[in-house]
Each structure stands twice: as structure tokens, then as C-alpha cells.
């Protein structure tokens, strides 16, 4: 058996940054587990190519139904280290599909054979599998490059597995997205660094002949190894690029003005607005040390499937399971 080649300098620097970021979180009293997992995983896999800005990870079309001419297409990005998705993620995909979307699941995996456990035709309409590099933006961009016919869909919706969802509240949110007259519809906006819309869920509704700005944006997306670099280069400029290209942009749910991570800090008030999501990171890592007491009851009242959320949280070997005893 041959040994893995040493990681390239750029990849080693990216891994070192993850460890430094984890140390910084320890110093300020925040949970470093996510940064540590990311760095250790990259070392274990010998990821000497992940994170280059030169192109895409390998992508495999595992299953794909004929693309519809009359249904919005949703590119749903999820991470599954061993190719198996958690029940709450499968439910999210199935609920989107039940609301009339053609759901194309894009799985990022650490498996060298680029295979995922297919959840079946009643859950998703297609499965793409790619190497775990570049985060959500690179995965979405790879799918669009591999399947350019996606640009002919009447609408392109984008979602990922960074949120837990409420099956009961989801239909009303989707009705609001459909009712919006904007060309790009997101759910929440942020003023961190610069005004932008957040990328866990958004829909491109611009007519086919007005998508030049969107196509130009996605054609330029490359796999970057640093999450903060992805946010700075792609998520934050996304809104401005679309507006500069003549598209209108709307965020549907109100959050407090000013800087701050209001998606997490205002999670209770968002639920009161009928917002159908809560951030996975909030319950898993609680990076801002927020009051999460009573979270089970708060989510159950709004129709979240709390048992599936608790099952996902309990899978982590980093102490997250203690959160399940709160409230």
C-alpha cells in the first residue's frame, strides 16, 4: 500500500488555520469542536487538493430523473461523511418535494468512491455525489456546471442541511417565497461585514432571459478550503452582484438592524414570526453561549420533529448530548 503524498503547503496552511481558530475559540470560552473536527478530518484524509481555487471536486451523477420544464428545481446540499444522511435531513428533502419542488440532492462525502445511500424516489428526484471540498457554494456551482440544463428551470431554489426545519411551518414559508415579486428571494438578511442575504435558503426566480448576472456569478465560484473565505468571496457579495446585474432582492423575515448573528441570537423571535428553521450550529455548538433553555418545548410548539433533532445532536461525541437535557 502506497503512502499518501504530503499535503501541499496551501492545504497545510488551511489546516493549521483551523487549529488556530479552534484555539482562539477556547480562549474566549466558545466551543472549538467544529473547527477541530474539520482540521482532524482533513489530516486523516490527506486532503492535499481540497481548497485550491482552481476548480471543482470530483462529482458523480448517481441518479437523475428527467429535469422538468414546469417545476422549480431545488439544489439541496448536504454533508454525509460516510454517504448516509440523518432522518431530519431526509424529512426536509421530502417535505420540499411534497411542496412541488424537483429536489436534486448534492451530497458532499469523504468516501473515495463518491457514493451515497440513495433515499429513494419519494424523497429526492436525483442524487449527485462529490468530494467534500469548497462548502455549499462550490457544490451548487459544480452541479450547475455539470448539468447546465438546470438553468432552463423556471426557478432555481437553493437549500442546505445547516438548518433544522418545521414540517408544519414550511408550507407557509414556501408560499411567501412563491408570492414574492423579487428576482432573488432569501429568508433573512445580515449586515455583518456588508449587507447581504444569508445562503441557507434562497430562490432565483428571475426569468430565463434575465439570469446573466446569476450565471456569471456561479460560473466564477470555485472550491475554497476556508469557510470564512467562502463567506467573504461568495455569500457576502452575492446580493450586491445580483443587484448590480439588474435583479431585485428580497429577504422575507425581519431581524434586528445592525451587526450580529441574528439568525442565532433572535431564534426565539424568528419562531414567533412563523420562521420554519433553527440553525443546527446553534443547538449543536451554541457558539455565542445563548440561552437555550426550554428549546425542546419551543420547537415542539412550532411543529419541529424534536426526536429527530435530538437524535442528530446525540450523534456527536463532543458533549453535545448534554444539551438534550436542557428544558
| Pair (157, 237) in one structural domain | yes
| Pair (105, 232) in one structural domain | yes
Enter the C-alpha cell of residue 221: 465560484
What is the Cα–Cα distance from 173 to 252, expressed in whole angstroms? 9
pLDDT at 291: 93
Strands (E), the chain: 59-64, 73-79, 102-109, 126-131, 156-160, 163-165, 184-186, 189-190, 196-197, 201-204, 249-251, 277-279
pLDDT at 19: 81
pLDDT at 37: 64
281 within domain boundaries: no
| Pair (168, 198) in one structural domain | yes
| Pair (148, 184) in one structural domain | yes
| Pair (120, 235) in one structural domain | yes
| Pair (207, 99) in one structural domain | yes
Enter the C-alpha cell of residue 296: 425542546
| Pair (170, 241) in one structural domain | yes
- Residue by residue, pLDDT tens for the chain (327 residues) are 333 334 455 567 667 777 887 787 778 766 676 567 666 666 655 544 443 333 446 899 999 999 999 999 999 999 999 999 999 999 999 999 999 999 999 999 999 999 999 999 999 999 999 999 889 999 999 999 999 999 999 999 999 999 999 999 999 999 999 999 999 999 999 988 888 999 999 999 999 999 999 999 999 999 998 889 999 999 999 999 999 999 999 999 988 887 778 899 999 999 999 999 999 999 999 999 999 999 999 999 999 999 999 999 997 655 444 455 454
320 within domain boundaries: no
The per-residue pLDDT for range 162-213, each reduced to its tens digit, is 999 999 999 999 999 999 999 999 999 998 888 899 999 999 999 999 999 9
| Pair (83, 126) in one structural domain | yes
| Pair (99, 213) in one structural domain | yes
| Pair (37, 141) in one structural domain | no
What is the Cα–Cα distance from 41 to 11, expressed in whole angstroms? 13
pLDDT at 183: 98
Q: What is the three-state SS of 223-275?
A: CCCCHHHHHHHHHHHHHHHHHHCCCCEEECCCCCCCCCCHHHHCHHHHHHCCC
pLDDT at 24: 76
Examine the fold and report which residue of 251, 266, 283 is the final residue of a domain before the chain moves on: 251
Predicted TM-score (pTM) of this structure: 0.84
For 168-211, where are the alpha helices, taking DSSP H only?
170-179
Q: Give residue for cell 486523516.
A: 44
107 within domain boundaries: yes
pLDDT at 52: 38
pLDDT at 14: 64
317 within domain boundaries: no
Neighbouring CB atoms inside 10 A of 234's CB total 24
Examine the fold and report which residue of 251, 275, 294 is the final residue of a domain before the chain moves on: 251
Number of independent structural domains in the chain: 2
231 within domain boundaries: yes
The closest of 147, 133, 71, 144 to 103, measured between CA atoms, is 71
What does each C-alpha distance from 79 to 85, 109, 154 come to in angstroms?
8, 6, 27
| Pair (223, 82) in one structural domain | yes
List the domain range (segments joined by +) for residue 247: 59-251
170 within domain boundaries: yes
Within 8 A by CB and 6+ apart from 55, the residues are 222, 223
314 within domain boundaries: no
266 within domain boundaries: no
**H or E stretch including 210?**
none
Report the CATH number that the domain containing residue 64 is assigned in CATH: 3.90.550
| Pair (116, 182) in one structural domain | yes
Examine the fold and report which residue of 232, 251, 270 is the final residue of a domain before the chain moves on: 251
Amino acid at each position: 500500500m502506497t503512502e499518501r503524498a504530503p499535503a501541499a503547503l496551501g492545504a497545510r496552511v488551511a489546516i493549521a488555520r483551523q487549529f488556530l481558530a479552534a484555539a482562539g475559540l477556547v480562549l474566549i470560552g466558545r466551543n472549538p469542536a467544529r473547527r477541530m473536527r474539520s482540521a482532524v478530518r482533513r489530516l486523516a484524509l490527506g486532503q492535499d487538493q481540497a481548497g485550491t481555487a482552481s476548480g471543482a471536486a470530483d462529482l458523480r451523477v448517481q441518479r437523475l430523473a428527467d429535469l422538468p420544464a414546469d417545476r422549480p428545481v431545488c439544489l439541496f446540499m448536504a454533508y454525509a461523511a460516510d454517504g448516509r444522511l440523518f432522518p431530519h435531513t431526509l424529512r426536509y428533502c421530502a417535505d420540499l418535494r411534497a411542496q412541488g419542488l424537483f429536489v436534486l440532492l448534492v451530497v458532499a462525502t469523504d468516501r473515495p468512491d463518491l457514493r451515497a445511500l440513495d433515499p429513494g424516489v419519494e424523497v429526492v428526484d436525483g442524487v449527485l455525489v462529490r468530494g467534500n471540498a469548497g462548502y455549499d457554494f462550490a457544490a451548487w456551482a459544480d452541479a450547475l456546471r455539470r448539468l447546465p440544463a438546470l438553468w432552463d428551470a423556471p426557478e432555481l431554489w437553493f437549500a442546505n442541511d445547516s438548518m433544522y426545519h418545521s414540517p408544519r411551518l414550511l408550507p407557509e414559508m414556501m408560499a411567501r417565497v412563491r408570492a414574492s415579486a423579487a428576482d432573488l428571494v432569501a429568508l433573512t438578511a445580515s449586515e455583518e461585514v456588508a449587507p447581504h442575504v444569508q445562503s441557507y435558503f434562497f430562490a432565483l426566480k428571475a426569468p430565463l432571459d434575465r439570469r446573466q448576472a446569476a450565471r456569471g456569478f456561479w460560473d466564477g465560484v470555485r472550491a475554497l478550503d476556508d469557510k470564512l473565505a467562502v463567506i467573504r468571496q461568495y455569500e457576502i457579495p452575492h446580493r450586491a452582484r445580483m443587484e448590480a446585474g439588474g435583479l431585485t432582492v428580497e429577504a422575507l423575515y425581519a431581524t434586528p438592524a445592525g451587526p450580529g448573528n441574528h439568525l442565532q441570537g433572535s431564534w426565539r423571535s424568528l419562531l414567533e414570526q412563523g420562521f420554519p428553521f433553527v440553525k443546527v450550529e446553534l443547538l449543536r455548538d451554541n457558539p455565542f453561549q445563548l440561552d437555550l433553555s426550554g428549546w425542546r418545548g419551543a420547537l415542539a410548539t412550532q411543529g419541529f420533529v424534536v426526536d429527530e433533532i435530538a437524535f442528530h445532536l446525540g450523534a456527536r461525541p463532543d458533549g453535545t448530548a448534554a444539551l438534550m437535557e436542557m428544558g
